[in-house]
Chain A
Amino acid sequence: MLESILSVLILGAMMSAIYALVAIGFTMIFGVGGVLNLAHGGLIMIGAYAFLVATSSSVVGAIAVPTVLGLVIATLVTAVASYVLYGGLVRYIEDNVVITFLSTVMVALLLTELIHHEFGSSPRTLLPIADGTLHLQGVGTRINYMYILGFVVSWIAIGLLWYYVSRTDEGRSILAVSMSERGAQLTGVDLESVKSRTWLIAGALAGLAGVFLGTLQTTSPEMWLNPLAIAFIIVVIGGIGSIKGSVVAAYLIGYLEQFTLEFLGTGYQGIFSLVVLVAVLLLKPEGLFGREFAHE
């Protein structure tokens, strides 16, 4: 019993870190532009498939780069895709919230069908960046090295993001726009460039998340839905627009999922987090750290 609790604690920490990666990009885009980006799951999928194409010699051509380079490529490709999504579509329609999020749904579905067509519907396996497992004697559990790597990469990314947003002028302008768009504009912040940068960063984080999720779970044309649902849940619980809230909520949900998995089996996975979500929505609709920045 004690052992399984320990293993839940460790595995939960690893999984939660990856969930945080999934959610932060989503929440940043919402905080800055008020855009609900339902194509976020699609971006994660792009990350996973970009990694697949780059590292596997059997998919497209014979090029196969080392997996670490593949991670970099996947991140860059997803960041660019996200930037293009903003510059090529969302920028022109963001005045209407409903049209915007319906359009991003259509983009996500379009991506799903194209990937389905290109790579087939069956799940693909990604080459692990770090192979093997770590055996924890005291706990009696094995941890995939990918989990540990995901944990480390996630916290590095969160640390860099924190530094960028709170210590540099460019980053602080992002924060300023999410507090008050008009106020930021009056102080000379270039709204377009702030939004483009936000989408670029969100895309990069989604790409990272995509590689880890794709390796540890599945890489298939249906993989966009679950991360999107997780991002939803985490962001609502943490408070829409709040980075700190997303990280805290990611850990809450990560642990909850790990506990259900360990003690109730796979059948109920995901149901409890949804119940927690409903409870938070009803009792504290602004989320745990909602509107950490004033925003109206």
Chain B
Amino acid sequence: MSSETDTGRSISGRVSGAAGRFGGAAVDGLSTVTEPVDRALRPIANVYNRTLGGYFGEMNGLQLVLLVGSFLGLVTIPFWGNYTLVQATWLACIWGIFAMSWDIQSGYTGYISFGHSVLSGGAAYTTAMLLNNVNAELPMRITIPISVLVALIIGLAIALPSLRLSGPYFSLITFVAVLIFYRLIRPLSEYTGGETGLGGIETVFSTDPVMRTYAFMIPMLLIAAALLIVARSNIGLILVAIRENESAVEAAGINATKFKIWSFVLSSIPMGIGGVLLAHRFGTVTPGAFVVVDNSIEMIAMAVVGGMGSILGPLGGAFLVIMLEDVVLSGFESEIKWSILWLIVLLILVFARDGLFRKLWHGLDRLGGDRR
């Protein structure tokens, strides 16, 4: 594909160049304030860098403040947040899982998938169909593993044929996978409940908001840690290399297709977990809320806002988008709310294609002054 045109330098390049110059001056001013903070915290950050840095990536004192701060804020949210905020957090945790899972596959390899809502939808529908068609008394310890397994199988079924294709063809076929799955729901409505969906799924800890928050947050944090380890390992390196130059990866004697399929499978496991959690969050599974392609696009939007290819970026993006959706913009009518959201995402795509959280992270890196 001849995407490299030398004519017409991009606006975004020029704009971010200008922003860079202004930013440079601002950084110099700010760093006189922030450098002492960084220096004070550097010993703690270095302890982390020596012990865990190899797994998760290194950071300076300021980045440590950001991470620890947001972690503490998140974990204590049921104690200081109001009910709207806590409710939004439940959803944000689940969407965070989706966005991170999407990221390890699409963000890292550059093979953009529109089909991830099939994975989560498949898992959610498995839970619902087991309870509705097999036995309503099935305990969660049986339905959850089966549902995640189904997500994994669907992931393999999509990945094996489609990842032999390159570039846009892959995106097209994942898009089509969503349509097939969606269109099969109606003819099979005897089992799937058609457009109205299936109910009767136990909602976890529905009486205790604190326990409920952790029921969604702990899986999210574990998945975040696991995906970060993979992403910062050599596997993540190969996935990024596939995105940047696939023929170079092949030339180095690495089977790129194998890694692409593994990344898809790897992302379908947390997608399955997220889908099950979403089913247990609402208690009903409908095609509109679980399967339609808008869901996949929303995941992509979150990843774009936070910064594709960074795991934590999409997680932050998910929280940002859900908070905008359910807390900040909840006063607007739904069309206006979504218009604003899509416009924001579009602007970020054009003017800050690396994502907001990556910008923030690198900004902190520069504010911290010299390394060591």
- Among B173, B180, B343, contact of A271 (Cβ-Cβ < 8 Å): B180
Contacts of A269 in B (CB 8 A): 183
| A113→B338 contact, CB < 8 A | yes
Assess whether A99 is interfacial by the CB under 8 Å rule.
yes
CA distance in complex: A269, B7 (Å) = 45
Give min CB distance, B343 to chain A, whole Å: 6
* 0 or 1 for each of A98-142: is its CB under 8 Å from B? (1 = yes): 110111011101100110110000000000000000000000000
B 135-174 binary contact with A (CB < 8 Å = 1; else 0): 0000000000000000000000000011011011101110
Which residue on chain B has the smallest CB distance to residue A117?
A: B335
- In Å, the complex CA distance between A233 and B169 comes to 11
Bound together, the chains give a CA A36 to CA B1 distance in angstroms of 11
Name the B residues within 8 Å of A225 (CB-CB): 293
Q: Does A282 contact B (CB under 8 A)?
A: yes
A91–B342 contact, CB under 8 A?
no
- B293 contacts which chain A residues (CB < 8 A)? 225
- Would you call B349 an interface residue if the criterion is a C-beta within 8 Å of the partner chain's C-beta atoms? yes
* Least Cβ–Cβ distance between A177 and chain B, in angstroms: 9
Cross-chain contact of B179 among A91, A92, A109, A274 (Cβ < 8 A)? A274
Are A96 and B353 in contact, CB atoms less than 8 angstroms apart?
Answer: yes
Chain B residue numbers with a CB within 8 Å of A98 are: 110, 112
Given contacts A98-B112, A233-B176, A268-B187, contact A92 B10 (CB under 8 A): yes
**Given that A98-B112, A109-B297 are contacting pairs, would A278 and B161 also be in contact in the complex, using a CB cutoff of 8 Å?**
yes
Contact A106 B346 (CB under 8 A): yes
Q: How far is the CB of A106 from chain B (nearest CB, A)?
A: 4
Task: Say how far B9's CB is from chain A's closest CB, in angstroms.
Answer: 9
- Given contacts A98-B110, A181-B2, A271-B180, is CB(A281)–CB(B161) below 8 Å? yes
- A-side residues, CB < 8 A to B, are 30, 34, 36, 89, 91-99, 101-103, 105-107, 109-110, 113-114, 116-117, 180-182, 191-192, 225, 229, 232-233, 236, 240, 267-271, 274-275, 277-278, 281-282, 285, 295-296
Complex-state Cα separation, A225 to B297, whole angstroms: 13
Task: Kindly report which residue of chain A lies nearest to residue B166, judged by CB atoms.
Answer: A285
Given contacts A34-B2, A285-B169, contact A93 B339 (CB under 8 A): no
In this complex, what residue of B is CB-closest to A91?
B8
Known: A110-B339, A281-B161, A285-B165. A105 touches B297 (CB 8 A): yes
Bound together, the chains give a CA A291 to CA B59 distance in angstroms of 48
Q: Are A274 and B339 in contact (CB under 8 A)?
A: no
Nearest CB of chain B from residue A48's CB, rounded to whole Å: 18
Decide: B172 and A274 in contact? CB cutoff 8 A. Answer: no
Any A CB within 8 A of the CB of B304: yes
Please state if B5 and A93 are interface contacts (CB–CB under 8 Å). Answer: no
* Cα A110 to Cα B350 with chains together (Å): 15
Contact call A296/B2, Cβ cutoff below 8 A:
yes
Main secondary structure of the interface of A (DSSP, over half): helix
Instruction: Tell me which residues across on chain A come within 8 A of B171, comparing CB atoms.
Output: 36, 101
Contacts of B12 in A (CB 8 A): 92-93
Q: Mark B320-352 against chain A: 1 for CB-CB distance below 8 A, else 0.
A: 000000000000010110110011011001100
* 6 A-B pairs whose Cβ atoms sit less than 8 Å apart in the complex: A94-B3, A98-B112, A102-B349, A113-B335, A114-B339, A117-B339
Residues of chain A lying within 8 A (CB to CB) of residue B346 = 103, 106-107, 110
Q: Are A34 and B1 in contact (CB under 8 A)?
A: yes
In the complex where A93-B350, A114-B339 touch, is A102 in contact with B183 (Cβ < 8 A)? no
Chain B residues near A107 (CB-CB < 8 A)? 346
Interface residues in B, total, Cβ within 8 A:
48
Measured between beta carbons, the chain B residues less than 8 angstroms from A91 are 8
On whether the beta carbons of A113 and B183 are closer than 8 Å, the reply is no
Q: Is the CB of B5 within 8 A of A99?
A: no
Known A92-B350, A281-B162; further 8 A-B contacts with Cβ < 8 A: A36-B168, A92-B12, A109-B297, A110-B343, A192-B8, A274-B180, A281-B169, A285-B169
Contacts of B123 in A (CB 8 A): none
Report chain A residues within 8 Å CB of B112.
Answer: 98, 101-102
Q: Which residue of B lies closest to A269 (CB)?
A: B183
Q: How far apart sit A113 and B294, CA to CA, in the bound complex (Å)?
A: 12
Q: CA of A182 to CA of B112 in the docked complex: distance in angstroms?
A: 27
Inter-subunit contact A282/B179 (CB<8 Å): no
Tell me which residues from 66 to 114 in chain B have a Cβ below 8 Å from any Cβ of chain A: 110, 112
Q: Is B285 an interface residue (CB 8 A)?
A: no
CB distance from B152 to the nearest CB of A (A): 20
B186, closest chain A residue (CB): A267
Shortest distance from the beta carbon of A264 to any chain B beta carbon, whole Å: 9
Q: Is B208 an interface residue (CB 8 A)?
A: no
Minimum-distance CB pairs A-B, first 10:
A117-B335, A106-B346, A267-B187, A113-B339, A92-B11, A181-B2, A110-B342, A34-B1, A113-B338, A113-B335
CB nearest neighbor in B for A98: B112
B33 sits at the interface (CB 8 A) = no
Residues of A within 8 A of B179 (CB): 229, 270, 274
Q: How far is the CA of A111 from the CA of B184 in the complex (A)?
A: 28
How far is it, in angstroms, between the C-alpha of A66 and the C-alpha of B138 when the chains are bound? 63
B3 near A97 (CB under 8 angstroms)?
yes
B301 near A: Cβ within 8 Å? yes
In this assembly, does B312 line the interface, its C-beta being within 8 Å of a C-beta of chain A? Answer: no
Q: Is B273 at the interface (CB under 8 A from chain A)?
A: no
Q: Across the interface, do B349 and A106 meet the contact criterion of CB distance under 8 Å?
A: yes
Q: When the two chains form the complex, which single residue of B5, B173, B297, B338 contacts A94, counting CB atoms closer than 8 Å? A: B5
B300 touches A (CB below 8 Å):
yes
Counting chain B CB atoms within 10 Å of each CB, the highest count among A34, A102, A269 belongs to A102
A99 adjacent to B161 (CB under 8 Å): no
Residues of A within 8 A of B184 (CB): 271
Q: Is B370 an interface residue (CB 8 A)?
A: no
